[in-house]
Structure 1
Amino acid sequence: MVGKITVITGPMYSGKTTELLSFVEIYNIGRKKTIVFKPSIDNRYGEDIVSTHTGFKVSAIRISKSREILDYIRDSIDAVFVDEIQFFDLELVDVVKELVFKGIDVYCAGLDISYLENPFETTAKLLAMADEVIKKKAVCEKCGEHRATYSYKIIPNGGEIDVGGKEKYIALCRKCLSEIKKQEVIL
């Protein structure tokens, strides 16, 4: 028996974590054994929980390196859930492979591209090997349409990896991002 890999991706505020947690709930209703992981870098809503921007949350284990996931896996685990995969090292890909060949379903959620429009390598590799990809969209902060696929950083400081929420990022559609970039060139 082998497991399956599901990757949920899209920009900030698109409901990636909400979708991930809905799968956790489905497995729990089915009395399946689950375990949830998050990167130690992300402590926005607490150290031992994964939470949506709207406050729905579940208990989670914070880890620094992907390989640590294997320390928590027991024979009885049916599904593993990993949030914010863009913050994990590339070894997450090998860990996920190992889990699915043990018969464990793995659900991953995370950004596909940075605010600089660079693909996150860990996410890209997991997308390539996923059995199912769920690509989410957000409501564009500028035009209000549900077609945003970009996370735009409104605070120019910090690096490409810069954990934050509404105080740093907004979701934009391609058209509105293009308009903002044109304005930036003019300034």
Structure 2
Amino acid sequence: MTSSPISQAARSRRLSRGPNVALTILYGRRYLCEFPDDVVAWIHVGKALGKVARFEEAEQALTKAIEFCLPEHRQYPLSEIGNLYKESGESDQAAEWYRRAIAAAPNDAGFYLLLGGNFARQSRFAEAEEVYRAAIACTDGCIDEAYLNLGFVLRALERFAEAADCFREALRLDPDYRAARCALFDVERCLRFERRI
């Protein structure tokens, strides 16, 4: 490769954002031969390998990212391994990796959302509720989304008044949150219907 390391890294990142999965793998691997300690490149290659269902190679790439990653940033490749397991249908393994990401960044709601979503997709609502309640107590990350997802779980359990409170809080945090507004409309109609019967 004849271009500078910065332009090569930028190209690798740019490729990973587009539909060029195979090119991301090919280019990323070539780039990593010259710059084997580039954590972000390992993550991009790992995610691309996961998209083409080459899960074992994807996990190897993401494990390399963990190896080169600063301890304060390990939650990102840890959660990506969780995503791989989720994608391959191994929900319990995914949960384990999401827990590791939470342990690495216990105040970031985003990693709780991954774990909670993993449980919610399996209809494990009590576990999802517990995780989402932990997420709303976090100091960083997408707290509005944590309220939204907690509301979704409560709505699934037909606890409409509690769900409405969660959707209202998500809207207080982000007044333009369309998903929260639609969900609030839905549960408010359910509450009105329950009052009539």
Whose Rg is larger? 2
- Which has the larger share of helix? 2
**Structure with bigger RCO (C-alpha 8 Å, 6+ apart):** 1
TM > 0.5 between the two? no
TM-score (norm 1): 0.30
